[in-house]
Structure 1
Amino acid sequence: MWAPQCCGASSGAARAALWGRPVRPAGYPRERPVDSAAAAHFSAMGVSVSLSAESLEVVPGEEAVCAVTVRNTGTVIDQVTVDVVGPAAAWSVVEPPTVNLYPGDVGEVRVYLRPPRASQPGAGPVRYGVRATSLEDPRGSATAEGVVEIAPFTELRVRLVPQISRGSRKGKHKVDVSNLGNVAVGTQIGAVDPDDALTFDVPRPAVVASPGVVTQAKLTAVPRSKFWTGQQQVKPFQVVVQPERGPASTVEGTFEQDPIVPRWAAATAIAALALAVVLAGLWFVLVKPAVKSAATEAAATEASKAAAVSASDTGNGSSSGTASDVTPSPSASTLAKPPKKAEPGSPGNPLLAPISFRIQTNAKPSNKFSPFVSPDQPKNKPLDVTDLQLQNPASDSGFLEIRRGDDIIYASGLDNFRDLPQAYVTPVRYAKGQQVTVAIKCSNPAPEKRPCTAAVTVVGRTA
């Protein structure tokens, strides 16, 4: 069969060039050679590890021991490091941590598992691993796995906050239940009083305390009897927390009961009463006699003055006067009497009560005056008239007079006004029993001869 030739190349090279494949340079090896010394070295190393027991049990706070066998399966001397991996590494110790082994030799180390007596780790199985690492080939480590069973335990710590409460009606507390164990525990909270003087209210008596958690419950101590006054009463009691398993935990508490009326209030009342007694004593012992003595001296002075005036008047009288003409001097007891209250309307007792009333007239035509008064004006009290308001809305004809007894205070013709105010700078005084009288002489013409209906409004002051 014919095959093309190119530039003297061999048939193989020619075919490669023809089909476009690259030509391997002369002397280039077909495969990368392997370092025979390195390959022999790695193949000569090896380590294995095994546990004496794959499952262990341990109580928190104590330890469990596991024997670990380490074998050098290689052909060179090696140093092997043993450690624990997983959650148990934090509370595990390996002794010794390293072993030197000849080829084919076996070494033994011990792993001590020591979980703490705490809420962590929790109760139950915990998986762990024991790792053996070769110094010559760190990548070529071996691991054996095991399981350690953590035993459950319960430990409660109870605290009462505050430990001592105080009040007259009740005392409030809080019960803190701390679970230091590694399992959840259901508890019942109660309280006992050795003297049966208290009752207790626990709104949530059943609580579940989780591991590592502080659970809180309210407790109120209420006294069975109350008292108003007296000394404070101290009443001890005991809080009991009973778990589902194990003994109960207790804590002591005290309720200091005060009287309903505090002692400071009673002391204040006694002090106020004592002060009132002292002030009353000072009044009767010091102040009242001094006032009485001053009044007596003043009365005696006035009596002496009156006697001197009387003697002077007697000496200046006619010689023919008899002893019966001499006015006896008033005694000190008479002068010491308080003066009588001034009459209403006098300078010492002015009229201050305001008053106003209206006098309406209805006089028939006549040649005589017809008097009119108001039933609203006081009859047995004095009256000071300060203002008058005269009104003649019907334009009546005639005459009007305002009288005080027989005296005419004001007079005017009805034709002179429709609405006329009259003010007095000095009030017009009407004595007790006198009345303001309006007299009308009506002169309305025929043929109607209608009556006169003028009116007067009186404004003033009375007693």
Structure 2
Amino acid sequence: MTTAASLDTTAVTAEPGGLVEVPLQVRNSGSTVEEYRFEVVGQAAAWATVEPTSLSLFPDSTGTAVLTLSPPRSSEVPAGDVPFGVRVVPTSAPDTVVVPEGIVTVLPFAEITGELVPRGFDGAWRGHTDVAVDNRGNIPVTVRLAAQGDSSRVRLRFSRETVELPPGAAELSRLTARPARRLWRGAPVVHPFQVVATPTGEVPHAPVPLDGTYQQDAILPRWLPRALMATAAAVVALAIVWFALLRPVVRSAARAETEKQVAAVLSPSPKASGTAGGGGSSGASAGAGGTGQDAAAGGSPSSGAAAGSTAGSTGRGTGGAGSTGTGGSGGAGDPRSAQAGVTDSVGGDPTSDTVYRVPAGQVFDLTDLVVQNPQGDSGTVVIASGTRTLLRLALQNFRDQDYHFVTPIVVPAGGRVTVTVTCSQVGKPVGGPTPAQCDESVLVGGTLRQAPSASPSPTAS
């Protein structure tokens, strides 16, 4: 081997942010001129240099290069021993490399910073802020937190009073400020305070003070009295408008409507009036006939008049009975409603249920239909009357759907209104767990009336 290299010292100490120089001696024991290149290897290579970067030596001569070590003042370079080496590479024979080695001891240093996030905060009952502590040194530290303020006005408490910080780490501790007395109304009160972060460890470090403010707001906002006064004034104004203007109009309209309905009930229909008139005419004719017969038979006229009067009374009674029968058959019907809920599992057969069954001898006029999908399920729902499909809806398109028919859907006697649900995906209600099945409901409304009777066949006169 024609190359020899050595460091003047193999153990040095470096201050973070400073530098230390180590001479490197290189000897060319060969018979030709040789150029040598230098490369620093190991963990210190990122912050080490060699000057000059190359060195040319005559045969049997020695040269000196300087190795400079400058560890940065950063948490990325931990304190302690860091091994290193310098590769001395001959240009003509790169395979004959010489690597002198050494150890640099990086000294420890402590550096912490702190911040209140946010620095100023407010609240009526309490306030919160976060104390952020950052260890920028190269050794682990323990930081103790303390709060200084007027304890008679505000109480300060940490979620963690001691924080362990490895090099380069940051931690948060929640600080809660509670006022000693409640402020119900009035201007806000500002409470200044100071947080002191004191590190402990082998390297001394001055405490870090952090100034902050807590603004105690009033529990009752300033606009509340004005809002209450405005609300009271609005209520009084509405009461005056009601009693002075709207109430008389409503009572007058209700009285007129009541009188109109009473008049409609008491007044006879044209058909009833015609029947009653026919009965009276018939009675009058009968009375006239009875008078003639009695006169021809030699009877008294009074008996004939009485008979005619009786017949006339009989005719009026018959007309009254006919009027009553017509009113009974022309009624508006009996209002009816029914509801049914259906649950169905995903992937199973459709599930059906009967919403309403029409009694025998009656007809149901369906006018209102409400379908509800409260869970937000996906699938189909079919509403049918017998074999006739009334509605086919996709569940994913609605939550509540209502229909009102001007022309009623007639369901015959004995017929059924049914609902069939096919579940493809169960919905999830807001703020609740996912159900196991689809769940839908249907409400129908309408009127129930007598089925029309078959008209009698005509008979020969």
Tell me the TM-score normalised to structure 1 length: 0.50
Tell me the TM-score normalised to structure 2 length: 0.50
